[in-house]
Structure 1
Amino acid sequence: MAKPASSFTLSEMLLNGNTSFIQKVLGKRNTFEKNSSLAVSPLFNATHVYVKPEYFDQFTDSFIATFGGTKSEQGVYQVTPTPSQTMSQFVLSPVGTLSVFGFKTPVPYPFGSESIGYLVKDFDRAVQFARSNGAEIIVAPFTDLAGRDAVIRWPGGFTSQLYWIETIPDFEPLQTIPESRVYVSPEAVNSFVKKFVNFTQGKVVSDHPRAAGIEIGRPNEFYRRIRIESNFGKMTVFVTDGHLPFPYGRETTGFEVQNLNETLDKAQKAGAKILVNPVQTEARESAMVQFPGEYIAEIHARLK
């Protein structure tokens, strides 16, 4: 039987996990003061991964074999405001945190469209500030055993979760910060970037009008690429006409590693497929990988 009334955040998976694991990762009660940024830390940005139940363990095992890390106790929960049941588990790795779901029932709309969950210091203020910056609240706030949740959608389509919890986990620092990868149309990009940057209190670190098209599978062409950084983490915005060869646009997160070739070797040994071989552009080398369960990720390393 599914455990009742829990949210689709890593907090619920912690609270429903085993006692010894909780004692290892839970820290002191959150007493954040308000400041200009609503974000807690990129450490608590959880990439949302939806896989079929029969591939659940294969995926989490493969991801950890590739990047390292640990995972919580697995359980079956209701993680949406309407009835549903899903296998749930979170993965803590040096390159980012995942919330993994394997629904045993149909997935209620619009869950599955959100690519990441952002932990915020002040939930009501975050929802209000997102709305005032042009975000749609597509899942109205709901309360669970650990805190509160909502799902928001920005101009251009980028969809994310906002969540708040009373007790903040005490995780090991990330070795590298993952990036959200967002594909946006030319018509929507300026509105999206302006409003998202204002919401996150971040900054545009680069806006390249003629980035190498090979980065989106279109060699010998150019496209606009924007990089954003804030306390909510990193984001790369790809401005395209939507004429994208597979798998571009299917990946929602890019993971940074120290040695790309070594990581890809580990991934293949753990059952992952290399969809796009390593490509070097500017200061990075990157590849596209599909893990068991059909989850697609970009993996990159900085060129030295």
Structure 2
Amino acid sequence: MRTTMVLTFASALAGAVAFAAVAQLSAAPTPEVAVGPQYSSTHVYVAPADFDRFVASFVATFGGTTSKTGVFTVTPTPSLTMSQLVLTPVGNLSVLGFETPVPYPFGAERTGYLVADLDAAVQAARDDGADVMVSPFPDPLGRDAIIQWPGGVNMQLYWHTTSPRYAPLATVPENRIYVSEDRADVFIRDFLAFSHGVVTSDDLAAPGAEIGRPSEVYRRVRIASPVGKLAVLVTDGDLPWPYGRELAGYEVSSVPETLDKAVAAGAEVLVAPYATDGRVAAMVRFPGGYIAEIHAIAPP
């Protein structure tokens, strides 16, 4: 029988003390390398047969524009993928439809962050506790690298030869990170150091409904930084489907209206709207399999 995650005052205090102790281990600050949250993109891998249908559904749901579709080599080893950038008011996507097998470890990275200097960013990531999974390599637009944070969180860093110019986002999406209790504090410490972010909330008894366990509580940490927002969801891994499969949470003005658009565009509602922590939230699956959380701030 699963043990409920109800937190006592003693366990909450122990968690706070542990985080404070970990935070004291941080080294001297590394350089800020972020460009802005509108230059962060969620990496979405879909089958080529689903590529156009997914992009059309996502844009019909959230609005926005797309780049031209092309077929490129975006890995350091031989491969071919359809590639398209999707720019929406609530967050951007890099959509990839590989026509060849996907080289390791590509496909596991969840987000791409544009940085001002790739070599400096990779060194900063190393200094702040990340592993470099794929060393810097050239791509058709510039250079890239793949890093991994404690807890097994993979991200891509990229730099463009010609700096892009994207409009600010109407709302900044949350990168939804699921980590274990064992690695959460180390991940938070290291990512804060790298991103120059701040913890906006650290709730040791967040409503379990947010992770599909409504009778329990869990720890949820929210972070804001120059690269964007993170929701760090600290769990024991006993997650009902589809929780843990979503990569991002998108803030909209109305969840019901957005769901109507999504369903009309071929998406499926996986978790019906529910209210928690001042939000209304739901989960959807778009054509091609991409799962997303959608939320709106509940009226006071």
Could you report, residue by residue, the CA deviation over 1:90-139 in whole angstroms, capped at 9, with x for unpaired residues? 11111111100111111000000001100011211110010011101001
Letter matched to residue 229 of structure 2: K
CA drift at 1:36: 4.7
- 1:27-46 correspondence to structure 2 within 5 Å: 36-46=31-41
Residue 113 (str. 1) matches residue 108 (str. 2):
yes
**2:254 corresponds to 1:259:** yes
2:199 corresponds to: 204
How far apart in 1 are the matches of 2:138 and 2:86?
Answer: 23
Deviations 1:141-184 (A, max 9, x none): 11234321100000001110001113222222211001100000
Name 2:124's counterpart in structure 1: 129
Structure 2 gaps, min length 5: 1-29
Task: Name the structure 2 match of 1:12.
Answer: none
Corresponding letter in the other structure for 2:45: Y
Question: RMSD of the alignment, in Å?
Answer: 1.0
Aligned length: 270
- Structure 1 segments of 4+ aligned residues over 4 angstroms from their partners: none
Question: Is 1:171–2:166 an aligned residue pair?
Answer: yes
- Pick the aligned partner of 2:73 from 74, 78, 98: 78
Query: What SS does structure 2 have at the residue aligned with 1:37?
Result: coil
Pair 1:143 & 2:138 matched: yes
Shift of 1:209: 0.3
Counterpart of 1:90, as a letter, is L
Percent of paired sites with the same residue: 59
Distance 1:257 1:207 in 2: 23
Please point out which of 284, 287, 293 is paired with 2:279.
Answer: 284
Verify the 8 A CA contact 2:61 2:258 in the aligned structure 1.
yes
TM-score (norm 2): 0.88
Q: Deviations over 1:177-200 (max 9, x none)?
A: 011000000000010001110111
2:212 corresponds, among 209, 217, 229, to 217
SS at 2:261 equivalent: helix
Q: Choose which of 187, 194, 202 in structure 2 pairs with 1:192.
A: 187
The one-letter code of the counterpart of 1:303 is A
CA distance in 1, matches of 2:47, 2:209: 31
Query: How many Å separate the matches in 2 of 1:134 and 1:45?
Result: 21
CA distance in 2, matches of 1:240, 1:84: 36
* Alpha carbons 2:31, 2:124 under 8 Å: kept: no
Please, what TM-score do these two structures have when normalized by structure 1? 0.87
Partners of 2:193 and 2:295 in 1: CA distance:
28
CA contact (8 A) 2:266 2:287 kept: yes
Secondary structure of the structure 1 residue equivalent to 2:52: helix
Q: Please give the alpha-carbon distance, in whole angstroms, between the structure 2 residues aligned to 1:269 and 1:260.
A: 14
Alignment-mate amino acid for residue 174 of structure 2: E
Task: Assess if the C-alpha contact under 8 Å between 2:73 and 2:140 holds in 1.
Answer: no
Q: Tell me the distance in 2 between the aligned counterparts of 1:193 and 1:107.
A: 29
Cα distance in 2 between the residues matched to 1:183 and 1:239: 6
| Amino acid in the other structure paired with 2:226 | N
